[in-house]
Amino acid sequence: MGGRLLAHIVRIEVAPIRLEVAYQGEHPVKAELRAGQLAAIRTRPLTEKDHICGNEIIYYPPLVRVSNSMPAVAELDQYRGPGLNVSWTSRGKRSAFVGTFWR
């Protein structure tokens, strides 16, 4: 599913995973994913205040096949695990998609 992105695995960690998705009809509009204390992503839908120039396009599509995908704001994007020699917390970036993954 991840192609070359998963070609070099540095470390495997085990953690409980929790995923909550809110839908509007059949479309997912926001989600929160937590992998124990290692990683977290929390999204919200785009709103009018997120538009920059009025010509909004999806420049980079999702990295894997999805259905009903919607661009979203990553309110929280966080990694605090061992193995990468770096931890990060990013907030408020227009860098997420919410959708249904499939093969």
* Residue 59 within a domain: no
* Residue 1 within a domain: no
The pLDDT of 5-26, averaged and rounded, is 88
Candidate ranges 2-11, 22-31, 48-57, 58-67; pick with highest mean pLDDT: 22-31
* Residue 5 within a domain: no
What's the chain's average pLDDT? 85
* Residue 84 within a domain: yes
Is it the case that residue 103 has pLDDT exceeding 80? no
* Residue 79 within a domain: yes
What's the rounded Cα separation, in Å, for the pair 59 and 71?
11
Span 44-93, pLDDT tens digits: 988 888 877 666 667 777 777 788 788 889 999 999 988 788 999 999 99
Expressed as residue numbers, the domain containing 32 is 18-47+64-103
The total number of structural domains in the chain stands at 1
* Residue 70 within a domain: yes
* Residue 96 within a domain: yes
Is it the case that residue 38 has pLDDT exceeding 70? yes
* Residue 57 within a domain: no
What's the rounded Cα separation, in Å, for the pair 79 and 72?
19
pTM: 0.76
